[in-house]
Amino acid sequence: MIGPKVYETVADMRQAVDAARAAGERVALVPTMGALHEGHLSLVRAAREHAGHVIVSIFVNPTQFAPTEDFDAYPRDSEADLKLLAGLGVEGVFMPPATEIYPPGFATVVSVGGPAEGLESATRPHFFGGVATVVTKLLLAALPDVAIFGEKDYQQLCVIRRFVRDLDIPVEILGGPTVREEDGLAMSSRNRYLGTEARRTAALVPQVLNEAIERIDAGEEASTVLAEGTARLTQGGFAVDYLELRDAETLAPVDAQSARARVLVAAKLGQTRLIDNMSLARPANGWR
C-alpha cells in the first residue's frame, strides 16, 4: 500500500496542490487533530466524492485549548492515522510542527461573533478564536476547492461557515453527518478517555437527545422537555453545561418545533466532556 505524501510546510503542500490543479484535479481538505476514527474517515470518503486530490491535515491546535484543558493528554497516534489514511487512498497529509502554524511573534486571532456566542463559548471562551484562527490558516495554506467538517461539532461548523462567508475565503464548506457507535454515542477522539463504566453511561447523552427531539417534534413544550433531559443527565452522573434548542443556521435560541431547529448538548462525565447534537428534521434513517 502506497502511503500519502506527508507535508510539514505550507510551501510543500501548496506545491502539491498547484500540481494537482495543473493536472485538472479538484482539491478537498479535511482538517483534523488526528487520533482518527470512523467519523473522520467518513469525512475523508465524502471528500473523495468532491475532489480527485484529498488532503487531510493533522494538527493538535494549542490555541483552542485553555491551559486547564487536555492539550497534553489529547491522543496522538500519527503512525495509526497515516495507515488509516493510506487505506483510503488519500493523496496528502499536512502535519505541520507548531512553529509552522504559529511562528515566533505570531500575533493574530480571527474573532467570530454570531454563532460563536453562547453554548461552547460559555465554558470555553478561548475555543472559537483558536479554531477560527487555525482553520483560516489551514484554508489559506491549502487553498482547497472544498473543506469538510463533522456535524458532531455543530457549533464549530456554523462558526466556520460564518467566517468563511464573512472573510470571502473562496472555499466551499461542507458538513458530514455524525457517525455513532451502536448504542448511539457520537464518535469522538475524546471517547478514548472513558473507562468501561463511564463508556456505558455515556450512551445516555444520545438517548436524552433523541428523546428530546421526538418529544419536541410531537409538540411538547421545549423548555419542559429540555429541563427534564437536563435532570436525567444530572441524575446519570453528568455535569451538564447546556441542553438547548437552537436555530440550525444562526444558532439563535428557538422555543418551538421547527425543521430548522437542533438540540445541542454538552455535559461532563468525570473529566471527559461530551458534546453532541441532533436535528428536528426527519432523517433518512436512524439517529438524526
Out of 43, 93, 134, 204, which residue is the one contacting ligand PAF (CB under 6 A)? Answer: 134
Query: Minimal distance in Å, beta carbon 160 to ligand PAF?
Result: 7
Cβ within 8 Å of residue 195, ≥6 positions away: none
User: Is 53 tagged catalytic?
Assistant: no
Burial 250-283 (b: 16+ CB within 10 A, else e): ebeebeebeeebbbbbbbebeebbbbbbbbbeee
Q: Which entry of 40, 50, 53, 126 is annotated as an active-site residue?
A: 40
Contact between 150 and 176 under an 8 Å Cβ cutoff? The reply is: yes
Q: Tell whether residue 266 is a contact of ligand PAF (CB under 6 A).
A: no
Smallest CA-to-CA distance from 278 within 226, 206, 215, 220 is with 206
Q: Tell whether residue 179 is a contact of ligand PAF (CB under 6 A).
A: no
Neighbours of 166 (CB within 10 A): 12
Three cell numbers written together for 126:
478561548
Neighbours of 99 (CB within 10 A): 9
Q: Tell whether residue 131 is a contact of ligand PAF (CB under 6 A).
A: yes
For residue 224, give Cα distances in angstroms to 48, 125, 185, 203, 258.
43, 28, 24, 22, 16
Looking at 48-56, 148-156, 238-246, 274-282, which segment touches ligand PAF (CB under 6 A)? 148-156
Q: Which is nearer to ligand PAF, 102 or 149 (CB)?
A: 149
Q: Which is nearer to ligand PAF, 150 or 229 (CB)?
A: 150
Q: Tell whether residue 4 is a contact of ligand PAF (CB under 6 A).
A: no
Q: Which is nearer to ligand PAF, 176 or 206 (CB)?
A: 176
Query: Minimal distance in Å, beta carbon 83 to ligand PAF?
Result: 19
Note the residue count of the chain: 288
Q: Tell whether residue 164 is a contact of ligand PAF (CB under 6 A).
A: no
Out of 120, 153, 241, 276, which residue is the one contacting ligand PAF (CB under 6 A)? Answer: 153
DSSP H or E segment with residue 18: helix 10-22
Three cell numbers written together for 84:
488509516
Out of 41, 135, 139, 209, which residue is the one contacting ligand PAF (CB under 6 A)? Answer: 135
Q: Which segments within 59-184 are labelled E, that is strand?
A: 92-94, 146-150, 172-176
Query: Minimal distance in Å, beta carbon 189 to ligand PAF?
Result: 8
Residues 16-35 that bind ligand PAF (CB under 6 A): 31-33
Q: Which is nearer to ligand PAF, 16 or 160 (CB)?
A: 160
- Using CB under 6 A as the binding criterion, the count of chain residues that bind ligand PAF stands at 11
Q: Tell whether residue 100 is a contact of ligand PAF (CB under 6 A).
A: no
Query: Cα-flanking dihedrals φ and ψ of residue 91, to 5°?
Result: -80, -40
How many helical (H) and strand (E) elements, i.e. helices and strands, does the chain have? 10, 9
Catalytic residues: 40
Which residues of the shown chain bind ligand PAF in the complex (CB under 6 A)?
Answer: 31-33, 61, 64, 131, 134-135, 149, 153, 156
